Amino acid sequence: MADPQAFCVAEERSGHCAVVDGHFLYVWGGYVSIEDNEVYLPNDEMWTYDIDSGLWKMHLMEGELPPSMSGSCGACIHGRLYVFGGYDDKGYSNRLYFVNLRTRDGTYTWEKITKFDGQPPTPRDKLSCWVYKDRLIYFGGYGYRRHSELQECFDVHDASWEEQIFWGWHNDVHVFDTKTRTWSQPEIKGGVPPQPRAAHSCAVLGNKGYVFGGRVLQTRMNDLHYLNLDTWVWSGRISVNGESPKHRSWHTLTAITDDKLFLFGGLNADNIPLSDGWIHNITTNCWKQLRHLPYTRPRMFRS
C-alpha cells in the first residue's frame, strides 16, 4: 500500500528554508498569514519533494529542535542542512543548527551547535550565505547590535537608548568552518562593499560569491556585486551591459552553469510579487530576460 504522506502537498509558507540535495528538495520552517496574523509553522516537520516523481512527503523530526522561525538562512554541505539565525516570538537569533539529510532510516534529527570556537555574528534574520570549501560564508541581514558592537558595517534603523540596543541592516561577512566548528570574521582587503541590506540573494560561481538586490529602509535594490572568497576583495558594483532586472527583495539567485546565474521572482518596490526570470552571463556581463515563465504565478522566496 502506498504511503499516504507521499500524496500530501507542503503548506503554503513564507520565510522558510529550502535546499536541494541529490534528487530531493527539502523545506523547513517559515510562517503562514492567517487573518493578518503571522503564524509560525511547526518546527518538527521537514517536507521533502522528490524531483523525479513529483511527490511531496512530510517527515517528523527529532533532537534539539530549532524554534519555529522565519527569515533563517539555510544551506547544505555534504548532505547536512545548516540553519542559522532567523526571527521568532522571542526576537532575533544567532544560533546555528544542523540536520543530516542522508539518513538511512529516514529519521531526521536536529543538533544545536553549542561547542565552537570564535564569535558568531550578532542576531539577525533575512541574511544570505555562500557555500565554499566546506565553509558557510554569511553576508548581511537585519538584526540588532548593542552600542559596544556598532561598526561601519551596520546601518541603524531604530534604537532603544535606554537599553542601548540598535536595530538595522548589515553588510558584514562571517565564516563558519563546518570541519573545525570555528567562527571567524575575515579581513576584507579591498574593494567597495555592497550597501547594508537584507532579503537579498547570494550564489557562488568559482571562487566568487555574488550578491544581488535586497532591501534597506523602504528602498529595494538591483545592484550586482561579488566577493572573491579567496582574497576577500569586493568587486564594487558591477556595471552590466544593457537591461537589468527591476529592483527587488526576497528573490532567488542560483548558479546554473560555470558562467551563468539565474534570478527569479521576488518582491518589487510596490510590494507586488514578481514572476520574471533572468540569466546573467558573467563572461559577457549581460542580463537576459526569459520570456516563457508563468507570469500569472508570481512568487517570492520569503516574505
Residue 160 pairs in a beta bridge with 165
Q: Is 295 left (phi over 0), alpha (psi -120 to 50) or beta?
A: alpha
Residue 150 has pLDDT above 80, yes or no: yes
Residue 85: the pLDDT is 98
Instruction: Indicate the pLDDT class of residue 298, thresholds 50, 70 and 90.
Output: low
Tens-digit pLDDT profile for residues 249-261: 999 999 999 999 9
Q: Determine the average pLDDT of the residues in 20-28.
A: 96
Alpha-carbon span 25 to 63, nearest angstrom:
21
Q: What is the mean pLDDT of the chain?
A: 92
Q: Give the angle subtended at the CA of 284 by the CAs of 255 and 254, to the nearest 5°.
A: 10
Tens-digit pLDDT profile for residues 202-224: 999 999 999 999 999 889 999 99
Residue 297: the pLDDT is 61
Strands 37-40 and 45-50, how do they pair?
Answer: unpaired
Residue 280: the pLDDT is 98
Percent of the chain with pLDDT over 70: 93
Alpha-carbon span 265 to 285, nearest angstrom:
20
Three cell numbers, residue 221 = 535594490
Structural domains of the chain, ranges and CATH numbers in brackets? 1-114 (2.120.10.80), 115-303 (2.120.10.80)
Residue 220 CA, chain-centre distance (Å), reads 17
HSE-CB at 112 with a 13 A cutoff on CA atoms is: 10
Q: Determine the average pLDDT of the residues in 139-158.
A: 89
Residue carrying the nine cell digits 523525479: 52
Tens-digit pLDDT profile for residues 160-196: 877 888 999 999 999 999 999 999 999 999 999 999 9
Residue 80 has pLDDT above 80, yes or no: yes
Residue 2: the pLDDT is 43
